[in-house]
Structure 1
Amino acid sequence: MKSTFLLFFLSLLAAPALAQTNPGTTQNPNRIDGYGAPVGAAVPVSRAAEETTIDIIGGYYQQDGSHGAVEGGRGTQRLTDVPPAIIVNVPLDTVSRLTANVGADFYASASTDRIDFALSTPSSHDVRYHGDFGYSREHKYRGTTWGIGAGVSKEYDYSSFNMAASFAKTSRDGNRQLSLAGQVFFDQVTLIQPLELRPGYSPGSLTGKGEAGTDQRRTYNFSATYSQVLTKRLQAAVSTELVSQNGLLSTPFHRVYFRDNPVANPEPAAGGDFSARFPTAARVENLPRARFKYPLSLRLNYYATDLVQVRGFYRFYNDNFGVAAHTFEVELPVKVTPFFVLYPFYRYHTQTAARYFAPFAQHSINDTYYTSDYDLAAFSANKLGLGLRYSPVYGLTRFRVPGQDAQGRPRVMRLKSLDVRYANYQQTGASIYSAADRADLKANIVSFDLGFAL
């Protein structure tokens, strides 16, 4: 009965899993305070080659703020997101394996609800689906591993296809490794404009075409990482990533208001005080169609004692939009028991504003490019959290699954580990802005990872 219940629970969690990425109605090409390896690129795997592993990942993300880009830098940024995902790693033999990462983002956004002025419109809820698949092969004698991958993602107004490749070379003593990875994204975006800016719109009515065609974006990523064991207790890794984006880099339903626009704002279809709050007409956000990003990072792992580690990370970021950023992160895993680890973590991020950013109603209509998206503002952010990992040597539990192994024995799946994390995120605008124009985004994130082996 116990094994039947666990198998049923596993199937329930896996069934809806079809994603990843950032919460939001479209992938934001302007957000730069995250980091990570290209999705879909194969990397060396340290787990036993004969094991099939399954990670079921889930969580809950909730944020709120008062500088939504949909309303030109004013208005709610309330958002909730539930992102289940499942990662499967299947060995084909002792040197090659297949990986799959599928999931979905189920989110509700009060910010995008303001595209049509009215509340609870279809734009307030959406689902993003994604799937990434990879193949890797290791040449143990040469110390090399190469991989290829591909992926897709889809939501109402956005679709993407990507291809990836990777290569890693490890020294004979295992103390050094050079990893190279490349990825290309082919994105198509449906152009959905704010209601009052749509062709055919007339004041006081809901008429007007919601979709104004499509546009495209191409993103090319190349990353290189060199890692080195320096001493018995210290490991270091240096990495860089070059990113080139071409095509639509602005979001078509982000409004921008101007201090000197002579055109009055049309009467909103839903009534209210919209015209009083925004007396002049808005325009759709406009950004250059080419962007180059070039971050450089350093990662250090120090084994202070047999029970305590110190993991440090620093990244410098720059791009041709004029954004420069610094990110510091530290994680302190503490082994409470041989199988139970607590790891508090802290992350600090600070950045300058893009040259095309200005707060609400501070742009001039003579500007060529303009945005009031606070992802491109000057701000600092603090993220503080705690995680726990429980991974007993024989697993938390085990249960039978249909089929037999290569020796004809019943197949047994183990729940190997449980990982749970909580983090609080707070973003504060730079002092160069007035009190009303400073970002005040706050978020809470809970996530878990159930690790299975077959």
Structure 2
Amino acid sequence: MKKLLLPLLACSALAAPALAQTGTTQNPNRIDGYGAPVGPSVPVSRAPDETTIDIIGGYYQQTGSHGAVEGGRGTQQLTDVPPAIIINVPLDTVSRLSVNVGADFYASASTDRIDFALSTPSAHDVRIHGDFGYSREQKAKGTIWGVGVGVSKEYDYLSFNAAASFAKTSQDGNRQLSLAGQVFLDQVTLITPIELRTTTGRGKSEYGTDTRQTYNFTATYSQVLSKRVQAAISTELVSQNGLLSTPFHRVYFRDNPDQNTIPTLNDNFIPRFATAARIENLPRARFKYPVSLRLNYYASDLVQVRGFYRFYNDNFGITAHTLELELPVKVTPFFVVYPFYRYHTQTAADYFAPFAQHSVNDTYYTSDYDLSAFTAHKAGLGLRYSPVYGIGRFRVPGKNAQGLPRVMRFKSLDLRYAHYQQFGSTVYAAADRADLVSNIISFDLGFAL
């Protein structure tokens, strides 16, 4: 019954699947950028006779002390295991199908505080998701178009999405314009903190529901500038309408005359506060407009430099800048090591204030530190091993078009580790102490059939 974090996005640098993003749990892979949710995958052109399979997964762990469930003062301890499988199947020489299915098994200490208790059912949840895409290439015209649909489900959340894309490549292959549109239709169960509920029962049907719609349009133009330099610029226009706040996020006020309806909180992990909380309240419309620039420089046959910059702005008052640098180095022709670093900084939303700093006269209010002013650093190392003839081969049932036994190649292995630290504004937190720390290990096993 929680909002979902998606540490599986840490794997997106390994295997390029598109994943549905459905929550606002504090996750550095979601925080950095505040872009639109990513939707159904649209497969890219590959060898016409090759089916590819990527098995991805990992482990995500975070700690922090600004949980929004407790008004910005509680634990942010969280773990997630997100296995998934991505399959691209050729239908003929010009069209392909893609399937991306997976699950998230996660445990959140912060949402365990919705009922002011420990080890309740809200401490654990499972999210399942599936995305399905179709693409068709017109080689003579240099175009590829695709469509896709997807679904994501967890206890308090159900999301359906659809996407369409179009790409046009120049005759010399040096330029490409890509356009994509996505729609997300979400339904959220309004699970509120126990002291703010109007009914005494805890059945899912007693909470009520609300909806949210997200519309996303992306345009990307890429250009080969020289034999060594490639660049791409993109913009993302996002419109969200409906429930944008989280019903089980508490907000405490400095001047609230109402007393807490639960006077005795004997759990040492629950922050004691005399006055009553209210449910987080945010506007029901949000517009986001990030612009990004990507630059790849092939310094030599062995070394590349990949740079990325994004500017972000929205009508909540957040302005953000993100810089990322990746340095792939070929240790051998088949083995690549790629250290990476990412820096993110942003201003606070107009509606954010720390624990007990809001006034009851405020129209909108949140103490969710995802919307606070902060800087963040993420650094890590990736390893990729991909021999020309694959790591190994093994037979699978059936025969190929030539009547020979089918053979699957284990063609590549990716491993990636990242360490993330988030530092709050010096107004509200110590500048030399990280407010949120996480570690992410992810892998991608690539197969071809």
Q: What's the TM-score, normalizing by structure 2?
A: 0.91
With over 3 angstroms needed to count, the CA separation of the structure-2 counterparts of 1:23 and 1:334, relative to structure 1, is: farther
Please tell me whether the aligned partners of residues 423 and 431 of structure 2 are also in contact (alpha carbons under 8 angstroms): no
1:119 is matched with which residue?
Answer: 118
Cα distance in 2 for residues equivalent to 1:181 and 1:252: 31
Cα distance in 2 for residues equivalent to 1:136 and 1:196: 50
Q: Report the CA distance between 1:447 and its aligned residue.
A: 0.1
SS at match of 2:122: helix
Please tell me whether the aligned partners of residues 266 and 275 of structure 1 are also in contact (alpha carbons under 8 angstroms): no
Cα distance in 2 for residues equivalent to 1:159 and 1:37: 14
SS at match of 1:59: strand
Please tell me whether the aligned partners of residues 390 and 417 of structure 1 are also in contact (alpha carbons under 8 angstroms): yes
Please tell me whether the aligned partners of residues 330 and 347 of structure 1 are also in contact (alpha carbons under 8 angstroms): yes
SS at match of 1:192: coil
The number of residues matched between the two structures is 429
Q: Does 1:44 align with 2:35?
A: no
SS at match of 1:58: strand
Q: Report the CA distance between 1:271 and its aligned residue.
A: 3.3
SS at match of 1:386: strand
Q: Does 1:327 align with 2:322?
A: yes
1:252 is matched with which residue?
Answer: 247
1:179 is matched with which residue?
Answer: 178
With over 3 angstroms needed to count, the CA separation of the structure-2 counterparts of 1:24 and 1:59, relative to structure 1, is: farther
Please tell me whether the aligned partners of residues 192 and 253 of structure 1 are also in contact (alpha carbons under 8 angstroms): yes
Q: Deviation string for 1:220-256 (max 9, x for gaps)?
A: 0000000000000000000000000000000000000
Q: Does 1:393 align with 2:391?
A: no
Cα distance in 2 for residues equivalent to 1:410 and 1:199: 64
Q: Does 1:63 align with 2:62?
A: yes
2:135 is matched with which residue?
Answer: 136
With over 3 angstroms needed to count, the CA separation of the structure-2 counterparts of 1:436 and 1:306, relative to structure 1, is: closer
Cα distance in 1 for residues equivalent to 2:227 and 2:314: 37
Q: Report the CA distance between 1:325 and its aligned residue.
A: 0.2
2:355 is matched with which residue?
Answer: 360
Q: Deviation string for 1:19-55 (max 9, x for gaps)?
A: 7647767999x9563558842142533x312100000
Q: Identify which of 352, 365, 370 aligns with 1:370.
A: 365
With over 3 angstroms needed to count, the CA separation of the structure-2 counterparts of 1:436 and 1:71, relative to structure 1, is: farther
2:3 is matched with which residue?
Answer: none
Please tell me whether the aligned partners of residues 353 and 378 of structure 1 are also in contact (alpha carbons under 8 angstroms): yes
1:190 is matched with which residue?
Answer: 189
SS at match of 1:187: strand
2:159 is matched with which residue?
Answer: 160
Q: Deviation string for 1:259-299 (max 9, x for gaps)?
A: 00001112267634689721110000000000000000000
Q: What's the TM-score, normalizing by structure 1?
A: 0.90
Cα distance in 2 for residues equivalent to 1:368 and 1:242: 26
Q: Identify which of 432, 446, 451 aligns with 2:427.
A: 432
Cα distance in 1 for residues equivalent to 2:301 and 2:431: 49
2:150 is matched with which residue?
Answer: 151
With over 3 angstroms needed to count, the CA separation of the structure-2 counterparts of 1:266 and 1:376, relative to structure 1, is: same
Q: Report the CA distance between 1:433 and its aligned residue.
A: 2.0
Q: Deviation string for 1:90-139 (max 9, x for gaps)?
A: 00011100001000010000000000011000000000000000000000
Please tell me whether the aligned partners of residues 25 and 157 of structure 1 are also in contact (alpha carbons under 8 angstroms): no
What's the % identity of the aligned pairs? 76
Please tell me whether the aligned partners of residues 190 and 208 of structure 2 are also in contact (alpha carbons under 8 angstroms): yes
Q: Report the CA distance between 1:431 and its aligned residue.
A: 1.6
Please tell me whether the aligned partners of residues 265 and 275 of structure 1 are also in contact (alpha carbons under 8 angstroms): no
Q: Structure 1 unaligned runs (5+)?
A: 1-18, 202-206
1:291 is matched with which residue?
Answer: 286
Q: Deviation string for 1:41-76 (max 9, x for gaps)?
A: 42533x312100000000000000000000000010
Q: Identify which of 395, 401, 413 aligns with 1:406.
A: 401
With over 3 angstroms needed to count, the CA separation of the structure-2 counterparts of 1:377 and 1:79, relative to structure 1, is: same
1:73 is matched with which residue?
Answer: 72
2:4 is matched with which residue?
Answer: none
With over 3 angstroms needed to count, the CA separation of the structure-2 counterparts of 1:275 and 1:187, relative to structure 1, is: closer
With over 3 angstroms needed to count, the CA separation of the structure-2 counterparts of 1:337 and 1:35, relative to structure 1, is: farther
With over 3 angstroms needed to count, the CA separation of the structure-2 counterparts of 1:215 and 1:450, relative to structure 1, is: same
Please tell me whether the aligned partners of residues 20 and 37 of structure 2 are also in contact (alpha carbons under 8 angstroms): no
Please tell me whether the aligned partners of residues 421 and 434 of structure 2 are also in contact (alpha carbons under 8 angstroms): no
Q: Report the CA distance between 1:425 and its aligned residue.
A: 0.2
SS at match of 1:132: strand
Cα distance in 2 for residues equivalent to 1:230 and 1:37: 30
2:418 is matched with which residue?
Answer: 423
Please tell me whether the aligned partners of residues 26 and 157 of structure 1 are also in contact (alpha carbons under 8 angstroms): no
- With 223-232 and 267-276 compared, the bigger mean Cα shift is at 267-276
Residue 127 of structure 1 aligns with an amino acid whose one-letter code is V
With over 3 angstroms needed to count, the CA separation of the structure-2 counterparts of 1:436 and 1:286, relative to structure 1, is: farther
Cα distance in 2 for residues equivalent to 1:149 and 1:167: 12
Q: Report the CA distance between 1:381 and its aligned residue.
A: 0.3
Q: Structure 2 unaligned runs (5+)?
A: 1-18
Cα distance in 2 for residues equivalent to 1:379 and 1:112: 23
Cα distance in 1 for residues equivalent to 2:90 and 2:269: 58
Residue 84 of structure 1 aligns with an amino acid whose one-letter code is P
SS at match of 1:116: coil
